[in-house]
Chains A and B, each alone.
Chain A
């Protein structure tokens, strides 16, 4: 069955970086785009961007360009998201999600990774 298993919670100081992983199984890794979505406390869902695990191509929401990097390791069917220059408002639950058909329809989600940014 399809599974997306994310890395554990992180606590970081402002200005630091964080890398979240999303290990996939149960489907062809290179056959589905993967997206990242976050939810800050008391806020709604926010789309960060996608990565094509086949080619490594990425596309980011304008707000995160230059500060977010998505990557993948095909040998371990895992995608990664790194956020640099963390700020307090980056505190959020970060999700990876599989794209059903390349049209940004997220049919499977990871369990979420809480990233807390605090001095």
Chain B
């Protein structure tokens, strides 16, 4: 299963909003697809920031939001802050064949 496609990098100024796309998610015809997003900062383990496309775990800022349309999922970050600088990865899991795959990753830079 090929990796999902994400833009290599996205940047924005503090306070701005950015959106990261994740393309290549199998259609629902092949079974439920579960999408999650992770923030990965250097020297730390990845952190779950969204699951089931748009749900935030406890403690995650509401500046992070998610959506999905067709074969593309998106992560939006509003009110960009310096602490948001990180690599972001989407993950798709198909209940059809119980297989998961990560996106290629997006480096977010706060200018």
| A contact set with B: CB distance below 8 Å | 35, 37, 44-47, 50, 59, 61-62, 95, 97, 100-101, 103-107, 109-112
Ordered by A's residue number, 9 sampled pairs between the chains whose C-beta atoms are within 8 Å are A45-B105, A47-B100, A61-B99, A100-B51, A104-B93, A106-B36, A106-B48, A107-B57, A110-B45
* B91 touching A104, Cβ below 8 Å: yes
| B contact set with A: CB distance below 8 Å | 1, 3, 34, 36, 38, 40, 45-48, 51-52, 57, 87, 89, 91, 93, 95, 98-105
* A103 touching B52, Cβ below 8 Å: yes
* A105 touching B51, Cβ below 8 Å: yes
Partner of A106, one of B1, B38, B95, B105: B38
* B48 touching A103, Cβ below 8 Å: no
With both beta carbons as reference points, the residue of chain A lying nearest to B3 in the complex is identified as A44
Number of A-B contacts (CB under 8 A): 71
Q: Is the interface of B mostly helix, strand, loop or mixed?
A: strand
For the complex, what is the distance from the CA of A70 to the CA of B93, rounded to whole Å? Answer: 19
Measured between C-beta atoms, what is the minimum distance from B9 to chain A in Å? 13
* A45 touching B48, Cβ below 8 Å: no
* A62 touching B46, Cβ below 8 Å: no
* B104 touching A106, Cβ below 8 Å: no
Residues of B within 8 A of A59 (CB): 98-99
* B104 touching A44, Cβ below 8 Å: yes
Partner of A103, one of B1, B34, B47, B104: B34
A62 with B51, Cβ < 8 A, contacts A45-B89, A95-B46, A104-B93 known: no
With both beta carbons as reference points, the residue of chain B lying nearest to A103 in the complex is identified as B34
Partner of A104, one of B46, B87, B100, B103: B100
Partner of B102, one of A44, A105, A109, A112: A44
Measured between C-beta atoms, what is the minimum distance from B102 to chain A in Å? 4
For the complex, what is the distance from the CA of A44 to the CA of B88, rounded to whole Å? Answer: 10
